[in-house]
Structure 1
Amino acid sequence: MIRKILSIIVGYAIFVVTSLALFKFSGHAPHSDATTAFIVLTTIYGAFFSFVAGLVTLIIAKTKNLKINFVLALIIAGFALFSLLKSAGSHWTQLLAIFIFSPVSIMGGLFYNKRHKHNEGNH
């Protein structure tokens, strides 16, 4: 149980830290309007790190069950929804987190499971 909790914390930390880094180094405020190019960049960047977060979460948890990834996805979406309801300004980042990044974190776990299952068959 501790391993699973730790895996979710690490997965969420990957998602949050990389998101904060993008906005810090780009100079864009996450709740301000952005150009289409920056939104596309953020979508690709965020999807990549959400995928990595889901992958790492499942690796640390050492389970084949995707429930842990669904928990991570709910946490990502839940915090984004809370932020959406409580913050002012543009909400494009929260919407990306809810509708793209959250589901992609599940895909990271699914990818690991499919890859791991495929590799087990080759031994």
Structure 2
Amino acid sequence: MIRKISAVIAGYLVFAVSAGIWFPLMGYKPHAPAPAAFMLETLAYGVCFSLLAGFVTKAIGKSFFLNYVLAAIIFLGAVLSLLFSDGSHWTQLTTLLVFAPCALLGGVIRFSGNAKQ
């Protein structure tokens, strides 16, 4: 049980810490309007880290079901942020529509080095 909880926490930390680093590093606020180029960069960055979060969750927890838990937590966090924050909502919408599903996809990624031949 501790392994499963730790897996979800680790996956969520990969996702959340990456976002927490990205916006200050790039000089933008997450709930403020941003140029289209920055939005696309954020999309690419977020997809990479969402996939990584899903991969980490599956690798630690050894169960794809945990990726559903991770995606639900990411989704719920975005919904709550959408409901209770002012300003532009592009980050929350991107999280709902792209990043949460990518956390699921990250759980199915396998590296060729692990495959039996």
TM-score range (shorter-chain normalised) is: over 0.9
Equivalent position to 2:115, from 72, 94, 119: 119
Match of 2:48 in 1: 48
Matched, 1:72 2:70: yes
Match of 2:6 in 1: 6
5+ unaligned residues in a row in structure 1: which ranges? Answer: none
Shift of 1:94: 0.5
Letter matched to residue 77 of structure 1: F
The alignment of Structure 1 onto Structure 2 pairs a total of residues equal to 116
Equivalent position to 2:108, from 107, 110, 114: 110
Shift of 1:62: 2.1
Which structure has the highest helix share of the two? 1
Letter matched to residue 57 of structure 2: T
Shift of 1:72: 0.3
Across the aligned residues of Structure 1 and Structure 2, the Cα RMSD in angstroms comes to 1.2
Match of 1:86 in 2: 84
Structure 1 segments, 4+ long, off by >3 Å, are none
Match of 1:95 in 2: 93
User: So what's the TM-score if we normalise by structure 2?
Assistant: 0.95
Secondary structure of the residue aligned to 2:74 is helix
Q: Distance in 2 between matches of 1:99 and 1:67?
A: 20
